[in-house]
């Protein structure tokens, strides 16, 4: 199966990417709630985050969909350097260099949050203030970067309509 962009020229994300994206949104909301309300739920939500992030990492290496691969993010940065006056590589709104950077940062921050949370379940880190601080700060940075992500989508929607992917992802 070969990916073909829709007639409008706006490239869409693959279904697995969208499912993982919205799954991580749900995970983030559940983690936020359960972190203060239910430690057991919070731990299971963290395992769900690790599973989705692991799947996204695998998809980045082996997807048939070109925009799901890690090379796509790097290509966006290189292509933008070749045509900076358009604001988009090749003049098309796919995912600009800041969008590629932002997506990678979100994945890295969520992975750092999930891994530091998992570390807290290991015997050698239980009760360690430094490990708890790392998890706390990774989560807060994830929340801040997520807020920035949502804000940029709102601004893009207000200025350009439709949002990238024309389906909200």
Q: Write out the chain's pLDDT in tens, 169 residues.
A: 444 444 455 556 677 778 888 999 999 999 999 999 999 999 999 999 999 999 888 887 776 665 665 666 666 666 666 655 555 544 455 566 677 778 888 999 999 999 999 999 888 877 788 889 999 999 999 999 999 988 987 887 788 766 555 444 4
Residues 6 or more apart whose CB falls under 8 angstroms from that of 120 comprise 126, 128, 131, 132, 135
Helix, strand, coil % over all residues of the chain, rounded to 5: 75, 0, 25
Sequence-separated contacts (24+) of 75-82 with Cβ below 8 Å: 76/100, 77/101
Entry pTM: 0.74
């Amino acid at each position: 199966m070969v990916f073909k962009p829709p007639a409008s020229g706006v490239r869409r994300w693959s279904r697995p990417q969208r499912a993982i994206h919205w799954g991580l949104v749900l995970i983030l909301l559940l983690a936020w709630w359960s972190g203060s309300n239910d430690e057991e739920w919070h731990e299971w939500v963290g395992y769900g985050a690790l599973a989705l992030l692991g799947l996204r990492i695998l998809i980045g290496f082996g997807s048939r969909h070109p925009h799901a691969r890690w090379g796509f993010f790097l290509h966006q940065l290189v292509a933008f350097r070749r045509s900076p006056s358009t604001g988009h590589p090749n003049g098309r709104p796919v995912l600009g260099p800041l969008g590629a950077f932002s997506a990678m940062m979100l994945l890295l921050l969520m992975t750092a949050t999930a891994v530091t949370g998992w570390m807290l379940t290991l015997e050698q880190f239980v009760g360690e203030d430094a490990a708890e601080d790392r998890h706390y700060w990774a989560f807060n940075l994830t929340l801040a970067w997520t807020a920035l992500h949502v804000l940029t989508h709102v601004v893009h929607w207000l200025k350009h309509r439709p949002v990238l992917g024309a389906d909200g992802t």
